[in-house]
Amino acid sequence: MGYCLSLWKTLRRGKYFLLLLLCLSVVAWIAIFSSETVKSQRVFSTTMQTFRKGDVWGNISFWSSLTDCSTSSPVKVDCPEESPLLQGAMKLAFDPSLTLKDVELENKAVTEGQYKPPDCTARQSIAILIPFRNREKHLLYLLHHLHPFLQRQQRHYAIYVIQQAGDATFNRAKLLNVGFLEAQKDYSWGCFIFHDVDLVPENDHNLYKCDKYPRHLVVGRNSTGYKLRYRGYFGGVTALSKDQFDQVNGFSNSYWGWGGEDDDLRVRVELQKMKIIRPPDEVARYTMVFHKRDSGNKINGNRMKMLRQTAQVWRKDGLSSCSYKVLSLERSILYVNVTVDIGEPQLS
């Protein structure tokens, strides 16, 4: 009987002990839950205070966390090295009935002569510089073909037409220096294409871009049987980066009339230990729109003598000494027209 009573007391003590453990567990759980609740209330309070203070970035961050990522704007990627839009060699047409309005309607994405690809970021920004005087039909044909040509290459570009005012002897090189200087007032162009108005590219695999070295884009033209005019020829259409053109001090300003300025530029490039590179023969092909030489662009009879002096004068004759006066600057749909007074040749 005494043994049974002792056992009963022991069981009662164990039951109270278990009950005590249960009570302590409940208290601990309540304490933890209360702590987390206080933290949550503090976070919510801080967020609401941010909204009340009008912290826009805080609001954007908050709602962005609640928004599906699929609703965010797509990020533009770089355009591919080779555009998928290229068509290769094309037969060019020069319709006498073509008008400027026709070309404008064909290029609705062009504004003030400038275009950017809509779906990707162009790898280079390019200024096309065209020296000009009294060649309206040639310019129309070039714009008709060149705008879609560059758009298929997915280039960010602008076309500048640099028009020589007056009836003094034409100076192609100085006009190109002017175009280089004026275009930089619009945008930080990294690449410049110096482009004759009467040369139209036939193959869009002839990429208009700048490279490690100056690029000569006219290997052949219809008027020469698509062969290089002569070894060392560096005329017609050339591509130089801003740094390369600065390094050679641009073109000489002294070549009035036809001939010599391209060879002078080649000598400047060679003096800087730069090579001249060309695209493959089969793509670097141009159609020259035939015309008679105008009276204001007679052959420069002094060009060979001047070429022999290039190494001595290039540092002081070029961009650094290019003086001119802008008479007007007009931003049409297809190009920027810069009309300039570049003076007249000095009598020697």
Provide CB contacts within 8 A for 49, sequence distance 6+: none
SS3 readout for 113-162:
CEECCCCEECCCEEEEEEEECCCHHHHHHHHHHHHHHHHHCCCEEEEEEE
Q: How far apart are CA 239 and CA 302, in angstroms?
A: 26
* Distance set, CA 162 to CA 59, 71, 143, 183, 219 (Å): 51, 46, 14, 10, 25
> Could you give the residue numbers annotated as active site?
196, 198, 258, 261-262, 288, 291, 293
Q: Exposed, middle or buried by CB within 10 Å (0-12, 13-18, 19+), for 309?
A: middle
Specify the residue for token string 């005329």.
Answer: 235
**H/E run at residue 78:** strand 77-78
State the distance between the two ends of the chain, measured CA to CA, in whole angstroms: 145
Q: How far apart are CA 76 and CA 72, in angstroms?
A: 12
Can you read off the two tokens belonging to residue 251?
Answer: 């073109």
Can you read off the two tokens belonging to residue 41?
Answer: 């209330």
322 near 177, Cβ under 8 Å?
yes
